[in-house]
Amino acid sequence: MFDLITQSMLFLLETLKSLVGDYGWAIIALTVLVRLALWPLSKSQMKSMKMMQELQPKMKMLQERYKADPQTLQVEMMKLYKDYKFNPLGGCLPMLVQLPLFIGLYWAISSPHFMTDQDPTFMNIIHLKHTGVVSHSGDSFDGKMSLGENGGGFLGVGKDKLEAGADMTISLNDGKSFEQKLQHANKALVILPKEPRPGVPLTITTTFEKLGLEGYESVAKTITLPVVNTGTKETERITFTSKGKGQPLETTLESTPGKTVPHYDVLVLVILFAITMIWSQRMMTSQAASTASDQQQQLMKFMPIMFSVFLFIFPIPAGVLLYMDTNSLFQIFQTWMFQRESSTPADSKANPPSQRVLDIKPDTPQA
């Protein structure tokens, strides 16, 4: 499923890039198109959140009244949801719909197709292939894998680790070729030395069985596939030459010292994401703050900071960061639009839910 989404994302990116002339603008256009398509669901999500806030007093009264009878409490809560036509899961649907799109975009931007023989940028400033604020990654597909001293990494995370990519090209003896997906990429190759060091060539071995190509020993001429440094996302191609049935496949890959450099464009994207996330969260939770506990309020305040720190330690492609920033800005605009619509006199009713929530009162003791 995700492969289909990834290929669809690549097609959309290439199509939009041909129209706007820049991969960065293509990512922004794709984000806006997705958010516009999900506008009804997002609006429903905001209405659901607003209704949840308005029903909080009534729900607390029911919880207090039936705290000793959980079964009755459940029945009464279901009645409450039915009376107000409220679906407690309605606020999750837009996020669930966007999750596979986000994963598909991540894999699309990380794929060899996106990075082959090109350096996609946004306005010639943001290099969309960058994967971290600090990185020792070299240029992909230059025939040399850049490795960091002592395994690289940042704060113990993101160390150099090499494994096979998913896409293989098999060239046959008759001149034909075809592509095939590699299953279990993390187990397909044996790469020595086990702790790669810059300047030491990598010896890479595998078998037809590990590549899922049993039966091709006598007809395959070469097998080409990418090797990915999962710590930096740098990708290089290797080619195995078949030596006949029963013979292992072996090749080498040159390694070179990778110079650790800061990527200020990625830093700006991470900071922008933190700012927009805080801004968006404050807009969406301003009304909920009165009903949330102190612990919940503190969690809401620190979550943007924790998530931004996560992006420093566990880097993702800068193109995905651009998508996240654009998505957050669109969320701010959409929340402002919804709040503006909700505050207009035409939207008010004679007996809105915020007033109707007072019609449940605790049981009074009998005299």
pLDDT of residue 148 exceeding 80, the answer is: yes
The residue behind tokens 């919940």 is 296
Contact 234, 140 (CB under 8 A): yes
- At 128, is the secondary structure helix, strand, or coil? coil
Q: 2-20 vs 93-110: helix axis angle to the nearest 10?
A: 70
Is 289 a residue whose pLDDT tops 60? no
pLDDT in tens, 70-82: 888 888 888 887 7
User: Which tokens in the block code for residue 253?
Assistant: 């890959």
For residue 11, what are the CA distances in angstroms to 17, 24, 325? 10, 15, 22
- pLDDT of residue 348 exceeding 70: no
**What DSSP state is assigned to residue 365?**
P
Residue 349 has pLDDT above 80, yes or no: no
Asked if 207 and 190 touch (Cβ cutoff 8 Å), the reply is no
- Concatenate the DSSP letters of all residues of 264-283 into one string: HHHHHHHHHHHHHHHHHHHH
Q: What percent of the chain has pLDDT over 90?
A: 22
Convert the pLDDT of each residue in 134-144 to its tens digit.
888 888 888 99
pLDDT tens digits for range 92-117: 666 677 777 778 877 887 776 665 54
> 188-197 pLDDT, tens per residue?
999 999 888 8
Please write the tens of the pLDDT for every residue from 5-17: 778 888 888 899 8
CB 229 within 8 A of CB 166: no
Across the range 326-342, mean pLDDT stands at 84
CB atoms within 10 A of CB 106: 18
pLDDT band at 90 (very low <50, low <70, confident <90, very high): low
Which is nearest to 123 in space by CA: 12, 8, 269, 331?
269
User: pLDDT tens, 226-276?
Assistant: 998 888 888 899 999 988 777 889 999 999 998 888 888 888 999 998 898
pLDDT at 209 over 70: yes
Distance separating alpha carbons of residues 237 and 142, to the nearest angstrom: 9
pTM passes above 0.75: no
Residue 340's pLDDT is what?
79
Whole-number Å distance between alpha carbons of 127 and 122 = 7
Q: Would the pLDDT of 337 be above 50?
A: yes
Other C-beta atoms lying within 10 Å of the C-beta of residue 137:
26
Sequence length of the chain is 367
Mean pLDDT of 285-310: 64
pLDDT band at 299 (very low <50, low <70, confident <90, very high): low
- Average pLDDT over the chain, rounded to whole? 79
Q: At CA 165, angle to CA 224 and CA 238, rounded to 5?
A: 30
**Helix (H), strand (E) counts: the chain:** 10, 15
* Between 4 and 267, residue with greater pLDDT: 267
Q: What pLDDT does residue 169 have?
A: 93
Q: Is the pLDDT of residue 346 over 50?
A: no
pLDDT of residue 252: 95
